[in-house]
Structure 1
Amino acid sequence: MNKLLFTVITLSSILSFSQTDEEVFRTIYTQSLTNGKSYEWLNHLSNQIGSRLSGSLGAEKAVAYTKEELDKLGLDKVWLQPVMVPKWVRGAKEFAFIESEPGKTTNVNICALGGSVATPALGIKANVVEVKNFEELEKLGKENIEGKIVFYNRPMQPDLIHTFEAYGGCVNQRYQGAVEATKYGAVGVIVRSMNLRLDDLPHTGAMTYEDLPVEKRIPSAAISTNDAELLSTMLTLNNNIQFYFKQSCKQLADVQSYNVIGQITGSEFPNEFMLVGGHLDSWDLGDGSHDDGAGVVQSMDVLRLLKESGIKPKRSIRVVLFMNEENGLRGGRKYAEVAKQKDENHVFALESDSGGFTPRGFSFDCNDASFNQVLSWQPLFKPYLIHYFEKGGSGADIGPLKSETTVLAGLRPDSQRYFDHHHASNDIFDAINKRELELGAATMTALVYLFDKYGVNPISSSETIKN
């Protein structure tokens, strides 16, 4: 080897070894913002592959593409983990209108909810009863609901700064609305889209029939917020108006898919695993750029950025691209099941599933000792305007890995615009800001670096006694 080149490499190694955490952070952020791959990967995932509904051809192509890209990174191991997933298809575009009097109709925007049954071939037309919650359903009773379409019209609470809290406050009407309406003899369900703004875009999402027999299941659809306002106003003026909708969705047999996994093996503690991931599947109306293409490519870039920054992890670090988060969580459960079977020690897991907007910080599901350790790192993130460090949730896919000692974390970007796109046809690549996406990838990498370097604190003695 050329002596000068050898000297430069040796000096580089010494400098890298002696870098402060602040210097490592600067290297990570510089690499992501000047040499990032997340935006390029997402461009392909969104524009060349498109939507990736569980069990679809798009999902299959996404598995092949992301595995191929991880193979190119020179990781120690890349593999596919088989998982059986549901296959629900939307079919022909839905159609709906409000009929104020015979022959006088107004078309409205709807979309079938994920997992819903179809309407009869000629559709459903019936009177409408509007409610805000399940308690109102119960008060109305079967005599006022039987044979009608239930219209759930509880908006997301606009004065809540944490928009995921607003989402959580009304999503049960979408998920359980059909089950509850069936108890009172309803023939269909229309749900106001989970969206903080008024627009013409219906937002899909998962719903459940629980253990209802197939013959008792009623079709369920989301209606845009503008059209929900229109329907509500028209009902105020005339409660005898009728609503018509037609959808041809279908639930097919489960099919095999895969979680995509890549690993850098730890140099000192190879049997301690740290995970970073997002979900590879998406809904089918847009191309899933924010939900969760952003989390997928950011997670992939974490491993690349570690390598590019000259960081040699002590612990084994995995990127896991989970399949079927949106309508089943099969990928997350399968990963945890296999990890348990192999008695793998997962000490840390980080998920990005809140969109590709500007990162604000993290939420942590962990014991107090680990959280206090995290709080001591806040000054390192402050120059990058990352101030949000709170105990709370992490991510749906990593939830099954929860234990008393494992630290679970969720990247928390600015969420004010997230539900404008969530599960809707405008969740597309054009809604992604390159710099925001790359800042998120760097922020995730920085946290992974810290947990790898310093480890995870055990449960304190006071917590052991308390629990």
Structure 2
Amino acid sequence: MKRTSLLLITGLFLISCQVEKKKTSTTLTGLSNEEKVDSTQIKQIFNAALTEGKSYEWLRDLTQNIGSRLSGSEGATKSVIWGEQLMKEVGLDSVWLQPVMVPHWVRGEKEVANYEFNGEKINVPICALGGSIATPKEGITAELIEVKSLEEAKKLGDKAKGMIVFFNGAFDNTLINTFKAYGGCVGQRYGGAATVGKFGAKAVIVRSMTNGIDDYPHTGSMGYGEIPESEYIPTAAISSRAAENLSKHLKKNPNLKFYFKQSCETLPDAPSHNVVGEIKGSEFPDKIMVIGGHLDSWDLGDGAHDDGTGIVQSLEVAYLLKKNNIKPKNTIRIVFFMNEENGLRGATEYARLAKENDELHIGALESDAGGHTPRGFSIDANDKNRALLQSWKKLLAPYGLHDITAGGGGADIGPLKDDHVTLVGYRPDSQRYFDYHHAATDTFDKVNKRELELGSASMASIVYLMDKYLYNNETLKP
């Protein structure tokens, strides 16, 4: 009986192996000869990234030895020097700094917030939003009015006068892509003060932009829009758990008073730089493909996922091309953009100079969605080029890159947009990103080495394909 079972199991195993072999054979025979060449090259790129990659140690150096890099800060200045030196070490054909004036907002001393409920003083994790004004030195104390969206706030009118408006719009956690959930409620963070400042509100506090419930406040940019300075009001974010508790307590005591104090200020614009380096194209040196992320970060953490991972992955694209002796036809330009977080000055200046210098960009790839497991790419391009990139799914899917869809390329490459430039955003898994985004938790230890390297290889692979095929698909002529 045992012998019969063993023979049966062995037979089933052999059949399974034959089926799997047949599947593999079918897959390979389904590729053209040129696609087989590309498939082999992509495999070599991934092998190099996973065995000889540099991105993780580069990220360790950036986050551990420099740390946060808010525009105008000492950390930002150090990161420019670091980026320039690293590009030279990688051996790019040329490296230069592109001057740009950037906003200089400083947080000041640590913020405090609290309120009383049932005779107990409850301390609230809070942080000023970037661009906000300070409270008076003694802080602000006022009653609260809770809203769940900008649309609801717009209807407050005189009800907001003298009040602290509490924006408590949470992520829609039924959305699988957490960036869509973020997009659905981040408007209250950026536009809350401009919306209710004109109604005479005393201040704004905003639920942190995260899909989790934790005790970490998440900062981020805010703006005052077109309202006069006399209507500017202090604006801060509180942790998601604090927002949940505050909302419950407000329902039980609508008259409770909230206190907070912050000492942030906006200083005069400061000089800074984009860091730029390139590998000159072997056939079309005047045709440029940009790969980049943003060098600046918020000041609460170390800017590991946002956007240290994007910076080191972008440079590792160049490293992997060189490591695999791939000589690009077009010029590959690596750009570490400055000031994405609170102004987009670096991206705007880069695009302005590209136009002024009559440069022809045919493609751009941005990594600014964290360093988690690769999922695919979003494409902002004309129909022809979008279809071309989507046709590469059979080459990229074996590496988990299944999602190659229409969508935005990214904030820093956005100013390059026109009908002939193919903009691509690298899209890793989004489930953990907003645990760390703009918070003190955005530190090096949250980045997984293998996931980071898989991302670098994913980016290098699509750059390899874009460089090889994209220009031939363009309506422009060399």
Q: TM-score, normalised by structure 1?
A: 0.93
In the alignment, which residue of structure 2 is the partner of 1:179? 194
Shift of 1:297: 0.2
Q: Deviations over 1:161-194 (max 9, x none)?
A: 1111100000000000001111211000000000
Q: For 1:437 and 1:325, locate their aligned partners in 2 and report how far apart those are by CA, in whole Å.
A: 21
Shift of 1:455: 2.3
Q: Does 1:106 align with 2:125?
A: no
Q: For 2:396 and 2:422, locate their aligned partners in 1 and report how far apart those are by CA, in whole Å.
A: 19
SS in 1 for 2:84: helix
In the alignment, which residue of structure 2 is the partner of 1:315? 330
Q: For 1:138 and 1:116, locate their aligned partners in 2 and report how far apart those are by CA, in whole Å.
A: 20
CA distance 1:79–1:19, change in 2 (3 Å): farther
SS in 1 for 2:309: helix
Q: Deviations over 1:325-350 (max 9, x none)?
A: 00000000000000000110000000
Q: Judge conservation of contact 1:111–1:221 (CA < 8 Å) in 2.
A: yes
In the alignment, which residue of structure 2 is the partner of 1:465? none
> What residue identity is the alignment partner of 1:394?
G
Q: For 1:214 and 1:353, locate their aligned partners in 2 and report how far apart those are by CA, in whole Å.
A: 33
Shift of 1:19: 7.9
In the alignment, which residue of structure 1 is the partner of 2:414? 399
Q: Does 1:263 align with 2:273?
A: no
Q: Judge conservation of contact 1:369–1:459 (CA < 8 Å) in 2.
A: no
Q: Judge conservation of contact 1:55–1:87 (CA < 8 Å) in 2.
A: yes
In the alignment, which residue of structure 1 is the partner of 2:137? 121
Q: Does 1:159 align with 2:170?
A: no
Unaligned runs of 5+ in 2: 1-33
In the alignment, which residue of structure 1 is the partner of 2:296? 281
Q: Does 1:93 align with 2:110?
A: yes
Q: For 1:216 and 1:156, locate their aligned partners in 2 and report how far apart those are by CA, in whole Å.
A: 29
Alignment partner of 1:70 out of 84, 87, 91: 87
In the alignment, which residue of structure 1 is the partner of 2:156? 140
Shift of 1:137: 2.5
Q: Deviations over 1:35-76 (max 9, x none)?
A: 001001000000110000011000111110111011112211
Matches within 5 A, 1:21-40: 21-40=38-57
Shift of 1:212: 2.9
Matches within 5 A, 1:125-274: 125-142=141-158, 144-274=159-289
Q: Does 1:79 align with 2:116?
A: no
> What residue identity is the alignment partner of 1:189?
V
Q: Deviations over 1:125-166 (max 9, x none)?
A: 000000112332343321x22101000000010000111110
Q: Judge conservation of contact 2:208–2:240 (CA < 8 Å) in 1.
A: yes
> What residue identity is the alignment partner of 2:221?
A
SS in 2 for 1:72: helix
Shift of 1:18: 12
The alignment-based identity, stated in percent, is 57
Alignment partner of 1:449 out of 464, 467, 474: 464
Q: For 1:198 and 1:132, locate their aligned partners in 2 and report how far apart those are by CA, in whole Å.
A: 17
Alignment partner of 2:448 out of 404, 414, 433: 433
Q: For 1:94 and 1:68, locate their aligned partners in 2 and report how far apart those are by CA, in whole Å.
A: 36
Q: For 2:439 and 2:132, locate their aligned partners in 1 and report how far apart those are by CA, in whole Å.
A: 17
SS in 2 for 1:176: helix
Q: Judge conservation of contact 1:295–1:353 (CA < 8 Å) in 2.
A: yes
Q: For 2:153 and 2:110, locate their aligned partners in 1 and report how far apart those are by CA, in whole Å.
A: 29
In the alignment, which residue of structure 2 is the partner of 1:10? none
Q: For 2:374 and 2:198, locate their aligned partners in 1 and report how far apart those are by CA, in whole Å.
A: 43
Q: Judge conservation of contact 1:98–1:231 (CA < 8 Å) in 2.
A: no
In the alignment, which residue of structure 1 is the partner of 2:320? 305
Q: Judge conservation of contact 1:149–1:188 (CA < 8 Å) in 2.
A: yes
Q: Judge conservation of contact 1:99–1:244 (CA < 8 Å) in 2.
A: no
SS in 2 for 1:350: strand
Unaligned runs of 5+ in 1: 1-16, 461-467
Q: Judge conservation of contact 2:314–2:367 (CA < 8 Å) in 1.
A: yes
SS in 2 for 1:91: coil
Q: Judge conservation of contact 2:150–2:187 (CA < 8 Å) in 1.
A: no
Q: For 1:310 and 1:135, locate their aligned partners in 2 and report how far apart those are by CA, in whole Å.
A: 55
Per mean C-alpha deviation after superposition, the further-off stretch among 208-217 and 177-186 is: 208-217
Q: Does 1:383 align with 2:417?
A: no
Q: Judge conservation of contact 1:404–1:459 (CA < 8 Å) in 2.
A: no
Q: Judge conservation of contact 1:349–1:408 (CA < 8 Å) in 2.
A: yes
In the alignment, which residue of structure 2 is the partner of 1:52? 69
Q: For 1:140 and 1:191, locate their aligned partners in 2 and report how far apart those are by CA, in whole Å.
A: 16
Q: For 1:427 and 1:404, locate their aligned partners in 2 and report how far apart those are by CA, in whole Å.
A: 36
> What residue identity is the alignment partner of 2:469?
Y
Q: Judge conservation of contact 2:154–2:196 (CA < 8 Å) in 1.
A: no
Q: Deviations over 1:196-249 (max 9, x none)?
A: 010000000000012333332100000100000111000000100000000000
> What residue identity is the alignment partner of 2:333?
R
> What residue identity is the alignment partner of 2:133?
V
Q: Judge conservation of contact 1:123–1:245 (CA < 8 Å) in 2.
A: yes
In the alignment, which residue of structure 1 is the partner of 2:31? none
Q: Deviations over 1:262-309 (max 9, x none)?
A: 100001000000010000000000000000000000001110110000
Aligned residues: 442
Tell me how large the CA RMSD over aligned residues is.
1.4
